[in-house]
Amino acid sequence: MAASTLTRKEQIARDLAHVPHKPGSTKPDPIIVADHVTRRFGGMTAVDVHHLEIQRGAITALIGPNGAGKTTLFNLLTGFDRPNSGEWSFEGTPLSRMSAAKVARSGMVRTFQLTKALSRMTVLENMRLGATGQPGENMLTSLFPPAWKGREDDITEQALELLARFKLDTKKDDFAGSLSGGQRKLLEMARALMTNPTTVMLDEPMAGVNPALTQSLLGHIEGLRDEGMTVLFVEHDMHMVRHISDWVVVMAEGRVVAEGPPTTIMQDQAVVDAYLGAHHDTDLGDDSLLDDDVIDQLEEEAEAEEHSRAEDGE
């Protein structure tokens, strides 16, 4: 088991070894390809992504400082928000402007930053709701149990298997609202898997999870990759990103500023700038900052930056 895990991770690492470490780089086998995606809220541009490819079967982390547009991009890709412009495809099928439900049915399922456990339903009912192809979800068919009981038994079996894997089987008859924050994250992930997805999008899977559960949650995410699923997740915790991801995409101010493997990405100048500011090494108490020459130079830099951004935007 451990050996195969290793090979899978290694294999992806080998596939991605020749991918250039720059924003918008081409992947050998992309499952999601996005082009010129923009989303504006009033005068503020929340997302402005020129080109982005997500490698099939890999765990890709989407990181960036607060307000970088990670969750907005997530909402756009999964149909929960509408872009101002741009298109993207999933497994070759264009997905832009498709409803969230259709996106989910096409195999890309997501979870939420603020966990959405359906509180006043039992854990098992939560799981069953995730299943697809239940004819009893039609209003008229639902009145004739023989028409859907068979599928319901299959669904229940699948649900119990998943619950056992996520160690929630003892809670199956409890209301989801009575679970702890971390257990709700697990339930949400397990519920998403009920749809038999090919791609799982996790929005801050570690937010609000107690440290004891973190390790098992990480294990589950790696498990998804080892089963052949593509995982894209948003995260703040760099430790976690380094630990499990195969590829890292860094966003700042709505744009993709860097890409690369987790081991080297944090040394990338663009990433350091995005997180800490370009002048994080400058001593604010330094009197030389008050020199006119230095101020002029800083202003020039700022202008150049604005200029290059405007060019990028075209």
Interface residue with another protein among 125, 161, 226, 237 (CB under 8 A) is 125
70 binds another protein (CB under 8 A): no
101 binds another protein (CB under 8 A): yes
In the complex, least distance from residue 253 CB atom to another protein, rounded to whole angstroms: 27
Candidate ranges 27-35, 48-56, 119-127, 215-223; the one touching another protein (CB under 8 A): 119-127
Query: Interface mask (CB under 8 A) for another protein, residues 217-256, using x and -?
Result: ----------------------------------------
> In degrees, to the nearest 5, what angle opens at C-alpha 234 toward C-alphas 8 and 105?
75
> Which of 300, 293, 288, 253 is CA-nearest to residue 273?
253
Cβ-based burial of 172 (10 A; exposed 0-12, middle 13-18, buried ≥19): middle
> Which of 203, 158, 173 is CA-nearest to residue 185?
203
Q: Which CB atom, from 48 or from 203, has the smaller least distance to another protein? A: 203
208 binds another protein (CB under 8 A): no
Cβ-based burial of 91 (10 A; exposed 0-12, middle 13-18, buried ≥19): middle
81 binds another protein (CB under 8 A): no
Interface residue with another protein among 7, 132, 210, 269 (CB under 8 A) is 132
Candidate ranges 14-22, 57-65, 111-119, 271-279; the one touching another protein (CB under 8 A): 111-119
Interface residue with another protein among 89, 134, 198, 216 (CB under 8 A) is 134
90 binds another protein (CB under 8 A): no
112 binds another protein (CB under 8 A): yes
Q: How many whole angstroms separate alpha carbon 188 and alpha carbon 191?
A: 5
294 binds another protein (CB under 8 A): no
Cβ-based burial of 214 (10 A; exposed 0-12, middle 13-18, buried ≥19): middle
C-alpha distances (whole Å) from 134 to each of 67, 129, 154, 160, 221 are 39, 9, 10, 17, 27
Q: What is 16-36 written as a DSSP string?
A: HTTS-SSTTPPPSSEEEEEEE
Q: How many whole angstroms separate alpha carbon 266 and alpha carbon 268?
A: 5
207 binds another protein (CB under 8 A): no
249 forms bridges with which residues in the sheet? Answer: 62, 259
Question: Which residues are at the interface with another protein (CB under 8 A)?
Answer: 78, 80, 99-102, 104-105, 109-112, 116-121, 125, 128-130, 132, 134, 136-139, 141-143, 145, 148, 152, 175, 177-178, 188, 191-192, 194-195
